[in-house]
Amino acid sequence: MSSQVLVVEDLRRSFTQGDATIEVLRGVDLSVNAGEIVALLGPSGSGKSTLLQAVGLLEGGFQGRISIAGERVEALDNAGRTRVRRDRLGFVYQFHHLLPDFSARENVLLAGLVAGHPEKEARARADQLLTDLGLGARLAHRPSQLSGGEQQRVAVARALANKPVLVLADEPTGNLDEATAARVLGEFLSLVRGQGSAALVATHNVALARAMDRVVTLHEGRLAVA
């Protein structure tokens, strides 16, 4: 298998509103190697979320080629997209999007079960991930009973529950104060590294970006190496 978990070639996306068309992505090329952690920088509105949505197979309307773990994915039907997201990708967003009526453990466990892991294994993995993130004493807490940093740690554990080859993170700590953000991001990256996943992490925080393996910057619809 190729050591590149993500290859994006000539990716384009424009949005039309009334008479105006804005070209947000104008031919983006990007490769991410297995286990590599890449920071995606760029000013507000430069298209970071748009790029992550394309790679995450969450939105249509793109032109260009996307390969994930060696498989061309841009033309897959809905079932194929769901399969790739479930088996290959993990997602972390600025807001945790946890299921409010389920405990921390259940939120993470569900992601493992959906990915088809046997229940015993999925349970053990959920508990291990949460414990690694310092939440061993919070397994039965619901999201509303957790702090913002703890909620985001649960979201990180959930993103890793299916052992993704690539984690896509859009401002994963953007909702946290600076010190908590740095701590949660550090824990997130060390877990990602520990299990050999790659990650593409959109952030505004240049200092946090510099802690990653490589920084790429979206500028006028294309990627420049920082």
Chain contacts with ligand ATP (rule: CB under 6 A): 15, 17, 22, 24, 42, 44-50
Least separation in angstroms between CB 151 and ligand ATP: 20
- The tokens for 218 are 């979206």
Tokens for 27, please give them.
Answer: 């031919």
Cα three-residue angle 87-51-199, rounded to 5 degrees: 50
Of the pair 44, 78, the CB lying nearest ligand ATP is at 44
Nearer Cβ to ligand ATP, position 54 or 111?
54
- Cβ proximity to ligand ATP: between 13 and 117 the closer is 13
Closest approach, Cβ 188 to ligand ATP, in A, equals 19
Q: Is 117 helix (H, G, I), strand (E, B) or coil?
A: coil
Task: Report in angstroms how near the CB of residue 66 gets to ligand ATP at its nearest.
Answer: 16
**Collapsing DSSP states into helix, strand and coil, what is residue 176?**
coil
- Which residue's CB is nearer to ligand ATP, number 40 or number 89? 40
Query: Helix, strand, coil % (nearest 5) of the chain?
Result: 35, 30, 35
Q: How far is the CB of 128 from ligand ATP (least distance, A)?
A: 32
Helices (H), the chain: 48-55, 78-88, 104-114, 119-132, 148-160, 178-194, 206-210
